[in-house]
Amino acid sequence: MFGALITKIVDLLYPYRCLKCGKVLDSAGYLCDHCVDEINFIAPPYCAKCGTPLHVDNASNLKYCATCSGKTKKFYRLARSAVVYDNSDKNLIIAFKFFDKTENANLLAAMLKVAGKDIFDAGADLIIPVPLHKSRLLKRRYNQSAILSDKLSKMVNIPVDCFALVRHRKTRPQVEFSGKERITNVKNAFSVKYPDRIINRRIILIDDVMTTGSTLKECAVALRHAGAKSVDLLTVARVID
């Protein structure tokens, strides 16, 4: 009771608290210095195509990673992520995803804005979030990728469309699968409901975490099928093996 009262008074005096550890901040912001230091931001050098960090020792004359300098054609134009998905960032994103901490969205969208610079420079017309199946949307009440897309849209002045791409088939959460099963789980799960909004557009696909990329790939394939000019991938975090 007394503790709650103290917290309330402190909140009145200092309304800003670190979103991750709860520490009171002395000025307006989202995270305390310690938690900012803990975030493993992806900084240059990284692959110009897929955005994977390059090892510093051989990066001086390399533009692309080994995979991207090969002949395999990628299903996207550019891919970028703000952070490497590790222990320090996991908490923030998991909280955003599962604990209704939608106030984290502003911070995550700001991270997307920084990470997506190359994509914005290359030019983009439309932001599209990875959609949830409507049954899942009802259960969770919001689509975190749609909230991120909406915030990012306002920050970078690029329109957002949360309805053109749909997940028409119900899929199990990807965390339940690994490798090939993930590909099968989301295969042909997405389709474009309004192709006229997609045709000839350079699209930025938004998701919170990219693990194997199977979900993003299925979305990109559906968009390209519907006539999208290009698809870029932008995620807050990325798993790197």
Q: In the complex, what is the shortest distance from the CB of residue 180 to Zn ion, in angstroms, rounded to a whole number?
A: 22
Residue from 50, 78, 105, 228 that binds Zn ion (CB under 5 A)?
50
Output the furthest CA–CA distance in the chain (Å, rounded). 66
Residue with the two structure tokens 């990628």: 74
Is 49 a residue that touches Zn ion (CB under 5 A)?
Answer: yes
Q: In the complex, what is the shortest distance from the CB of residue 192 to Zn ion, in angstroms, rounded to a whole number?
A: 27
Contacting Zn ion within 148-207 (CB under 5 A): none
DSSP 15-83: --B-TTT-PBPSSS-SS-HHHHHH--B--SSB-TTT-PBPPHHHHTT-SS-HHHHSSPPPSSS-EEEEE
* Preceding omega of 45 cis (within 30 degrees of 0): yes
Q: In the complex, what is the shortest distance from the CB of residue 50 to Zn ion, in angstroms, rounded to a whole number?
A: 3
Q: In the complex, what is the shortest distance from the CB of residue 152 to Zn ion, in angstroms, rounded to a whole number?
A: 23
Name which of 54 and 162 has its Cβ closer to Zn ion.
Answer: 54
Q: Which residue, among 215, 141, 145, 140, has the nearest Cα to 177 in the 3D structure?
A: 215
Is 21 a residue that touches Zn ion (CB under 5 A)?
Answer: yes
Name which of 51 and 131 has its Cβ closer to Zn ion.
Answer: 51
Is 35 a residue that touches Zn ion (CB under 5 A)?
Answer: yes
Is 54 a residue that touches Zn ion (CB under 5 A)?
Answer: no
CA distances for 48 relative to 41, 56, 71, angstroms:
16, 14, 15
Q: Considering only 67-75, 157-165, 194-202, 218-226, which stretch makes contact with Zn ion by CB under 5 A?
A: 67-75
Q: Rounded distance, CA 58 to CA 62, Å?
A: 7
Is 220 a residue that touches Zn ion (CB under 5 A)?
Answer: no
Q: Which residue, among 114, 47, 78, 48, has the nearest Cα to 202 in the 3D structure?
A: 78
Q: Considering only 33-41, 116-124, 138-146, 171-179, which stretch makes contact with Zn ion by CB under 5 A?
A: 33-41
Q: Considering only 9-17, 30-38, 77-85, 223-231, which stretch makes contact with Zn ion by CB under 5 A?
A: 30-38
Residues that bind Zn ion (CB under 5 A): 18, 20-21, 23, 32, 35, 47, 49-50, 65, 68
